[in-house]
C-alpha cells in the first residue's frame, strides 16, 4: 500500500468518495481523483502562474528603471528581453480569464488589444489606422497635458499609474488602451512600420534621453509614462496573485472553492474551450489570416505573436494535465482534469490528451518558423496575401484547436457539466 | 472560366430535386434543407444579376445604370442577410461567411484594402481577389466603392481601374455564392443523415438572433455599456443597416420557421411555434417601419425610440428561441466561435 494511504484513514476515504459524484467505487481508492481535489489544484495552478507573471513583471519594472536611469541601446534591449520573458507566464494565465469573471473584468487593463497607440504617443500618420469613431485614437498623451475625448477635456498633466488606469477605454472605446503589456510594448518597440515585411518596431533609445538628445519631443513625459505604466502592471498583478492565494480570507479562491464541484469544473472547461476556439483559433489566428490583417496581430510592435499564441496553447494544456512549469524550472503538479476524465472515459481522456499535444506541435511549428535562424517568418509575414506556407502553418493550428474544442465539449458532458454558457445562470439548457 | 463552372451547376440543381419524401409529414431537417436551398439559390441568382449589372455600368457609366447597380447590390446583400443565420456547413468552408461580409470592421480594413487596389498600377481580376483578404471580397468592399465619401459621390467609380476592381469583386462574389448553393445541395444527404444537425440548426439560429441583438443593434446604438458608435453598424456607408436587419428576419421566416414548426409539432409543443411566429411577425413589422439607416437614428430621439422598440422585440424573440424553445427541446449549447471577446 502506498505511503500516502497511511495518512488517510480508509473510513474517511470511503466517506469522501460517497460525496463525489464521479468517483467510481470500483476504482482502487488510492488512484481515485476527486473533482474537488481537481478544482483545488486548479486554484493552485492559477496562483503559481500569476505569481510567476508578477515576478517577471517586477524584473521588467527594474529593467525599465535602469533604462530610464541610463538610456542606452543595451538597457533598452534588456528591458525588451524582460518584456518578452514576462509574456511567457502571462499568456499561459489567459486560460483563467474565461470562466472566472474576476480575471475577465480585470484583464483589460493588462492585455487589451488591438490598441489605438496614437492615444499614447506619436505615430506615423500615413500608416496608422485607428478604430473608426474613436476620438481618443490620436490624443497623444505623451505630447499633451490636456486631451479631448468624447466632448470632454481631460487633465493628463501628471502621468501616474492611477491616471493611466482611469484612462483605459476612455470615451467608451476598447481600443483606448493606456496601460498593460501592449502599451509597454509600444513604448519599448514603437510602431511596426514594416507591414508584411520582416522587422518589428524600431523606436530609438533616444526617445528616452533628456535635454538636447531627446528625439520625437516630450521625452520627460514619455519617461514618466513608461515608469508609471510598468508600476501599474506590477500593482495589478499583485492584486491578482492575492485573489488566488491560499489561506487568505475573502479572496476569489475562497469563493470559487465554495461553489459546487460542478461549477468549478465548468469554469475550468469553459476557460479551456473559449480560449481554444473563439479567442485563439478565431480572433487571434483566423481573423488575422483571412483578412490578411497585421492590425489584428497580437504582439504587433515586438513581433512576438508566435510566442503569445504558443503560451496560450500551453496554458490550455496546463489545466488539463494539472501541470505548470514555473519560470525557475520547477514543476507544479497535482490532481488533474485528465485523471478525473480518465476515470469516466479513458478513451476520451487519451484522445483529448493527444489533441492537445497535436495543437502544441502546430503552435511550435509557428514558433520555430518565426524564430528560425535563417530567413525567419514572423506571424505578420505568415498572414501576408499569397503566403501559402504561412497560411498552412496557421490553418493547421486552427484545425487542431477546433478538434480539441470538440473533445472539451464532450469532456464537459462526460463530467456532468451541463452548461458551458458563461451567462445563463438560471436557464434550463 | 467562372461562368462555365457556374453553368455546370445549374444542371446539378435541377437534378437535385427533393431529397427525401417522408410521406405526409416531411421531417424538420427535410423542410429546413429545402427552404435553405431556395434561399441559397436566390442569393446566387441575385449575385449573378449584380455581376451583370456591374459589367453594364462599367461599359458605359451613366446615372440610370448606376441606380440599377445600387439596387442590384442591395438586393444581393439582402439575399445574403436572409440566409446568414446558417452558420454551419458549406458556408464555413474557406470562411465564405467572411468572404461575403467581413464585419465588424473596427479598424476600417475594408477601406484599407480597397484603397490598396485603387492605388495599384493595374486592377485585379477575380482570381487575384480570390487570393486576397476577405475584407476585399464581399458586399462591404462593393459598398465602399459605391458609397464611401472618398469616391466623390460616385464619380471616382467611373475610373476604369476602380470599375474593373468592382467587376472583379462581383465576379468573385457570384462564384462564391454559386459554389455555396451547389455545396449546400451536396451537403443535403449528410445533413439529413446526422441527427445532430437539428441541434446545430437551432443553435445557429439562436446565435444569429444574439448577433442581431448585441452586435448589429446593441453595440452601435450604445446599449452594451459603451457609447453609441455608428461605425460599429454594418452598412453604415449606405445607411442600410436596419434594412439588412429586416432582411435577416424575413430570412428566418422563410428559411427557419417552417422546419422549427414541424419540430415543435413533433415535440407536441405547437403553441411555442405559434408564439415564435407571432413574435417574429411583430418584430418584422417593427423593422419595416424604421428608416433604413441606423446612424441617422442616433441623432433623432423619435427614430431612436423606434429602434429601441425593435431591439426589445428582437430580444424577446431571442429569449423565446434561446430559452423557452431550447429548454423544451432539451438543447445543450457548446462553444461557438463568438466566445472570447
What secondary structure letter does DSSP report for A145?
S
For residue B93, the distance in angstroms to the closest alpha carbon of chain A comes to: 12
Given a cut of 90, is residue A187 above it in pLDDT? Answer: yes
Region of poorest pLDDT, from A25-34, A321-330, A362-371, B258-267: A25-34
- Closest chain B CA to residue A404: B335
For residue B322, the distance in angstroms to the closest alpha carbon of chain A comes to: 9
What secondary structure letter does DSSP report for B323?
I
What average pLDDT does range A133-148 have in this prediction? 93
pLDDT at A172: 81
pLDDT at B333: 74
pLDDT at B24: 57
Chain B residues whose CB is inside 8 A of the A277 CB are 335-337, 339-340
pLDDT, averaged across chain A = 90
Instruction: Note whether A257 and A264 are within 8 A (CB).
Output: yes
pLDDT at B338: 56
A131, B107: Cβ pair inside 8 Å?
yes
Chain A residues whose CB is inside 8 A of the B339 CB are 98, 273-274, 277-279, 422
Chain B residues whose CB is inside 8 A of the A419 CB are 332-333
Q: Which CATH superfamily is domain A35-112+179-415 in?
A: M75 peptidase, HXXE motif (1.20.1420.20)
Chain B residues whose CB is inside 8 A of the A171 CB are 227
Tell which B residues from 103 to 142 touch A, by Cβ distance under 8 Å: 105-109, 112-113, 131-135
Chain B residues whose CB is inside 8 A of the A413 CB are 332
Q: Which one is predicted more confidently, A384 or A16?
A: A384
Given a cut of 90, is residue A171 above it in pLDDT? Answer: no
pLDDT at A21: 42
| Banded pLDDT at A9 (limits 50, 70, 90) | very low
A290, B108: Cβ pair inside 8 Å?
no
Give residue-wise pLDDT tens across range A239-256. Answer: 999 999 998 989 999 999
pLDDT at B336: 66
Q: Which one is predicted more confidently, A423 or A396?
A: A396
Chain A residues whose CB is inside 8 A of the B341 CB are 279, 283
Rounded to whole angstroms, the Cα distance separating A99 from A95 reads 9
Given a cut of 70, is residue A5 above it in pLDDT? Answer: no
Q: Which one is predicted more confidently, B77 or B340?
A: B77
Q: Which one is predicted more confidently, A152 or A211?
A: A211
For residue B110, the distance in angstroms to the closest alpha carbon of chain A comes to: 9
Rounded to whole angstroms, the Cα distance separating A422 from A267 reads 8
A278, B133: Cβ pair inside 8 Å?
no
What secondary structure letter does DSSP report for A304?
-
> Residue B336 falls within a domain, yes or no?
no
Given a cut of 60, is residue A261 above it in pLDDT? Answer: yes
A428, B232: Cβ pair inside 8 Å?
no
Report helix, strand and coil shares of chain B as percent, to nearest 5: 75, 0, 25
Find the angle CA(A359)-CA(A395)-CA(A114) to the nearest 5 degrees. 90
CA distance to B188, B272, B333, per residue, from B183 (Å) = 9, 32, 26
| Banded pLDDT at A294 (limits 50, 70, 90) | confident
What average pLDDT does range B30-42 have in this prediction? 98
Given a cut of 50, is residue A1 above it in pLDDT? Answer: no
Give the percent of chain A with pLDDT over 70: 91
**Model's pTM, two decimal places?**
0.85
- Closest chain B CA to residue A115: B107
Instruction: Note whether A316 and A22 are within 8 A (CB).
Output: no
Chain B residues whose CB is inside 8 A of the A415 CB are none
pLDDT, averaged across chain B = 91
> Residue B80 falls within a domain, yes or no?
yes
| Banded pLDDT at A128 (limits 50, 70, 90) | confident
Given a cut of 60, is residue A350 above it in pLDDT? Answer: yes
Q: Which of A169, A277, A412 sits opposite B339 (nearest CB)?
A: A277
CA distance to A115, B94, B97, B99, per residue, from B91 (Å) = 31, 8, 6, 10
Give residue-wise pLDDT tens across range B226-259. Answer: 889 999 999 999 999 999 999 999 999 999 999 9
The stretches of chain B forming alpha helices (DSSP H) are 2-16, 28-59, 63-83, 96-100, 109-118, 126-131, 139-147, 160-193, 196-210, 219-221, 241-251, 257-266, 270-289, 301-319, 326-328
B335, A132: Cβ pair inside 8 Å?
no
Q: Which of B132, B227, B335 sits opposite A420 (nearest CB)?
A: B335
Radius of gyration over alpha carbons of chain A, in Å? 23
Instruction: Note whether B293 and B299 are within 8 A (CB).
Output: no
Task: Report yes or no: B102 at the A interface, CB cutoff 8 Å.
Answer: yes
DSSP string, B170-199: HHHHHHHHHHHHHHHHHHHHHHHH-THHHH
B340, A282: Cβ pair inside 8 Å?
yes
> Residue B334 falls within a domain, yes or no?
no
For residue B7, the distance in angstroms to the closest alpha carbon of chain A comes to: 28
> Residue B340 falls within a domain, yes or no?
no
Task: Report yes or no: B93 at the A interface, CB cutoff 8 Å.
Answer: no
Give residue-wise pLDDT tens across range B178-223. Answer: 999 999 999 999 999 999 999 999 999 999 999 999 999 999 999 9
Q: Which of A416-420, B148-152, B204-208 has the highest mean pLDDT?
A: B204-208
Closest C-alpha among B213, B319, B337 to residue B275:
B319
pLDDT at A135: 84
Chain B residues whose CB is inside 8 A of the A274 CB are 335, 339-340
Given a cut of 60, is residue B4 above it in pLDDT? Answer: no
SS3 B80: helix
Task: Report yes or no: B257 at the A interface, CB cutoff 8 Å.
Answer: no
Rounded to whole angstroms, the Cα distance separating B124 from B11 reads 30
Chain A residues whose CB is inside 8 A of the B134 CB are 290-291
For residue B71, the distance in angstroms to the closest alpha carbon of chain A comes to: 27
| Banded pLDDT at B331 (limits 50, 70, 90) | confident
For residue B152, give the CATH number of its domain. 1.20.1420.20
> Residue B159 falls within a domain, yes or no?
yes
B52-56: Cβ within 8 A, 24+ apart: B53/B170, B54/B163, B54/B166, B54/B167, B54/B170, B55/B167, B55/B170
pLDDT at A429: 23
Instruction: Look at chain B and report how many structural domains it folds into.
Output: 1
Give residue-wise pLDDT tens across range A202-211. Answer: 999 999 999 9
Give residue-wise pLDDT tens across range B110-136. Answer: 999 999 999 999 999 999 999 999 999
H or E element at residue A163? helix A161-167
pLDDT at A358: 98
What average pLDDT does range B140-167 have in this prediction? 92
Give residue-wise pLDDT tens across range A29-49. Answer: 457 999 999 999 999 999 999
Given a cut of 50, is residue A105 above it in pLDDT? Answer: yes
What average pLDDT does range A49-54 have in this prediction? 98
- Closest chain B CA to residue A405: B335
> Residue B221 falls within a domain, yes or no?
yes
Q: Quote the ipTM score.
A: 0.79
Chain B residues whose CB is inside 8 A of the A405 CB are 335
| Containing structural domain, residue B7 | 2-329
| Banded pLDDT at A327 (limits 50, 70, 90) | very high
For residue B24, the distance in angstroms to the closest alpha carbon of chain A comes to: 32
| Banded pLDDT at A420 (limits 50, 70, 90) | confident
The phi and psi torsions of A155 (rounded to 5 degrees) equal -85, 115
Rounded to whole angstroms, the Cα distance separating A240 from A107 reads 10
Q: Which of A133, A169, A429 sits opposite B332 (nearest CB)?
A: A429
pLDDT at B339: 52
Chain A residues whose CB is inside 8 A of the B326 CB are 429
pLDDT at A406: 93
B98, A273: Cβ pair inside 8 Å?
no
What average pLDDT does range B138-155 have in this prediction? 92
Amino acid at each position: 500500500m502506498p505511503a500516502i494511504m497511511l495518512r488517510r484513514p480508509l473510513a474517511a476515504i470511503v466517506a469522501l468518495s460517497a460525496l463525489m459524484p464521479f468517483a467510481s467505487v470500483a476504482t482502487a481508492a488510492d488512484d481515485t481523483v476527486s473533482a474537488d481535489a481537481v478544482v483545488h489544484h486548479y486554484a493552485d495552478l492559477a496562483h503559481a502562474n500569476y505569481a510567476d507573471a508578477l515576478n517577471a513583471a517586477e524584473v521588467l519594472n527594474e529593467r525599465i528603471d535602469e533604462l530610464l536611469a541610463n538610456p542606452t541601446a543595451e538597457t533598452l534591449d534588456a528591458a525588451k528581453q524582460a518584456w518578452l520573458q514576462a509574456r511567457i507566464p502571462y499568456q499561459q494565465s489567459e486560460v483563467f480569464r474565461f470562466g472566472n469573471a474576476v480575471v475577465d473584468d480585470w484583464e483589460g487593463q493588462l492585455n487589451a488589444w488591438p490598441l489605438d497607440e496614437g492615444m499614447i504617443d506619436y505615430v506615423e500618420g500615413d500608416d496608422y489606422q485607428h478604430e473608426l469613431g474613436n476620438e481618443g485614437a490620436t490624443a497623444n498623451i505623451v505630447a499633451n497635458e490636456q486631451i479631448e475625448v468624447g466632448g470632454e477635456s481631460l487633465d493628463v498633466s501628471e502621468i501616474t499609474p492611477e491616471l493611466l488606469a482611469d484612462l483605459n477605454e476612455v470615451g467608451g472605446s476598447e481600443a483606448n488602451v493606456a496601460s498593460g503589456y501592449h502599451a509597454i510594448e509600444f513604448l519599448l518597440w514603437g510602431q511596426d512600420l514594416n507591414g508584411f515585411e520582416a522587422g518589428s518596431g524600431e523606436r530609438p533609445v533616444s526617445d528616452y534621453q533628456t535635454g538636447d538628445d531627446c528625439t520625437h519631443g516630450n521625452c520627460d513625459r514619455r519617461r514618466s509614462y513608461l515608469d508609471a505604466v510598468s508600476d501599474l502592471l506590477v500593482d495589478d498583478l499583485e492584486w491578482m496573485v492575492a485573489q488566488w492565494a491560499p489561506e487568505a480570507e475573502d479572496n476569489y479562491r475562497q469563493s470559487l472553492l465554495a461553489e459546487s464541484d460542478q461549477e468549478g469544473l465548468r469554469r475550468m472547461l469553459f476557460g479551456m474551450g473559449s480560449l481554444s476556439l473563439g479567442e485563439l483559433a478565431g480572433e487571434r489566428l483566423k481573423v488575422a489570416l483571412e483578412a490578411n490583417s497585421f492590425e489584428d496581430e497580437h504582439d504587433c510592435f515586438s513581433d512576438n505573436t508566435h510566442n503569445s499564441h504558443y503560451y496560450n496553447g500551453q496554458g490550455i494544456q496546463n489545466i488539463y494535465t494539472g501541470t505548470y512549469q514555473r519560470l525557475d524550472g520547477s514543476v507544479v503538479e497535482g490532481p488533474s482534469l485528465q485523471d478525473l476524465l480518465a476515470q469516466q472515459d479513458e478513451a476520451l481522456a487519451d484522445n483529448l490528451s493527444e489533441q492537445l499535444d497535436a495543437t502544441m506541435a502546430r503552435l511550435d511549428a509557428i514558433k520555430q518558423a518565426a524564430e528560425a535562424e535563417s530567413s525567419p517568418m514572423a506571424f505578420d509575414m505568415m498572414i501576408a496575401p499569397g503566403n501559402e506556407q504561412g497560411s498552412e502553418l496557421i490553418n493547421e493550428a486552427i484545425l487542431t484547436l477546433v478538434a480539441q474544442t470538440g473533445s472539451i465539449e464532450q469532456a464537459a458532458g462526460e463530467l456532468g457539466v451541463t452548461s458551458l454558457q458563461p451567462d445563463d445562470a438560471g436557464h434550463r439548457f | 472560366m467562372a461562368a462555365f463552372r457556374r453553368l455546370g451547376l445549374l444542371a446539378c440543381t435541377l437534378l437535385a430535386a427533393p431529397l427525401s419524401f417522408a410521406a405526409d409529414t416531411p421531417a424538420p431537417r427535410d423542410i429546413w434543407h429545402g427552404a435553405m436551398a431556395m434561399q441559397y439559390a436566390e442569393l446566387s441568382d441575385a449575385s449573378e444579376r449584380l455581376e451583370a449589372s456591374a459589367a453594364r455600368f462599367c461599359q458605359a457609366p451613366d446615372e440610370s445604370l448606376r441606380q440599377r447597380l445600387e439596387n442590384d447590390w442591395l438586393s444581393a446583400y439582402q439575399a445574403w442577410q436572409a440566409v446568414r443565420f446558417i452558420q454551419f456547413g458549406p458556408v464555413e468552408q474557406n470562411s465564405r461567411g467572411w468572404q461575403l461580409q467581413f464585419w465588424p470592421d473596427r479598424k476600417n480594413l475594408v477601406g484599407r484594402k480597397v484603397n490598396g487596389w485603387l492605388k495599384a498600377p493595374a486592377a485585379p481580376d477575380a482570381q487575384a481577389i480570390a487570393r486576397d483578404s476577405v475584407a476585399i471580397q464581399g458586399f462591404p468592399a462593393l459598398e465602399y466603392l459605391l458609397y464611401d465619401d472618398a469616391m466623390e459621390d460616385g464619380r471616382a467609380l467611373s475610373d476604369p481601374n476602380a470599375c474593373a476592381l468592382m467587376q472583379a469583386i462581383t465576379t468573385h462574389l457570384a462564384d462564391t455564392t454559386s459554389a455555396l448553393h451547389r455545396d449546400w445541395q451536396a451537403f443535403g444527404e449528410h445533413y439529413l443523415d446526422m441527427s445532430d444537425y437539428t441541434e446545430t440548426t437551432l443553435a445557429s439560429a439562436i446565435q444569429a438572433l444574439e448577433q442581431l441583438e448585441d452586435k448589429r443593434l446593441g453595440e452601435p446604438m450604445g446599449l452594451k455599456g459603451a457609447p453609441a458608435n455608428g461605425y460599429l453598424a454594418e452598412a453604415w456607408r449606405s445607411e442600410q443597416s436596419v434594412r439588412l436587419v429586416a432582411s435577416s428576419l424575413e430570412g428566418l421566416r422563410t428559411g427557419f420557421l417552417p422546419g422549427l414548426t414541424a419540430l415543435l409539432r413533433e415535440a407536441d409543443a405547437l403553441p411555442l411555434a405559434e408564439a415564435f411566429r407571432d413574435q417574429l411577425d411583430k418584430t418584422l413589422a417593427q423593422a419595416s417601419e424604421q428608416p433604413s439607416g441606423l446612424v441617422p437614428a442616433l441623432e433623432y430621439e423619435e427614430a431612436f425610440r423606434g429602434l429601441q422598440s425593435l431591439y426589445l422585440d428582437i430580444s424577446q424573440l431571442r429569449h423565446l428561441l434561446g430559452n423557452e424553445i431550447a429548454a423544451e427541446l432539451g438543447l445543450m449549447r457548446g462553444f461557438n466561435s463568438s466566445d472570447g471577446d
